[in-house]
Amino acid sequence: MIQPSFLVVKLVALVLSLVVAGLAYHGYRRSGSQPMLFVAGGFVCIGVGAICEGLIYLVFDTTLFSAALVQAIVVSVGMLLVLASLTLGETGAERG
């Protein structure tokens, strides 16, 4: 059984990351800045990673190690997208 406080904290992390992703996507749509799209995708991955470990562990009855490995990979992909948004050059509306 999942502890209610644990579930609340995980859901808050998911909601906050999706709000940031939504704002970043809105910024991408408004400005055409590709790095903003990477930020949006990165925060979606980070948010999904925040809740996927417990879901994988409970739903698919895997080992905790396997669930943690999947969670770490998903969060790492999100961090790589955010890193790419900070290091890659501008494309889209800012160019020209």
Does the residue 66 lie in any domain?
yes
**Domain span at 73:** 4-87
pLDDT at 91: 57
Does the residue 95 lie in any domain?
no
pLDDT digits (tens, 9 = 90+) for 2-60: 688 888 898 999 999 999 999 999 999 999 999 999 999 999 999 999 899 888 888 89
pTM confidence score: 0.83
Nearest to 39 by CA among 54, 50, 23: 23
Does the residue 96 lie in any domain?
no
Q: First vs last Cα of the chain: how many Å apart?
A: 56
- The tally of domains found in the chain comes to 1
Does the residue 41 lie in any domain?
yes
Both tokens of 25, joined, read: 């996507």
Q: What are phi and psi of 53, to 5 degrees?
A: -60, -50
- What CA–CA distance (Å, rounded) separates 9 from 4? 9
Does the residue 92 lie in any domain?
no
Q: Cα angle vertex 26, ends 77, 89, to 5°?
A: 55
Does the residue 93 lie in any domain?
no
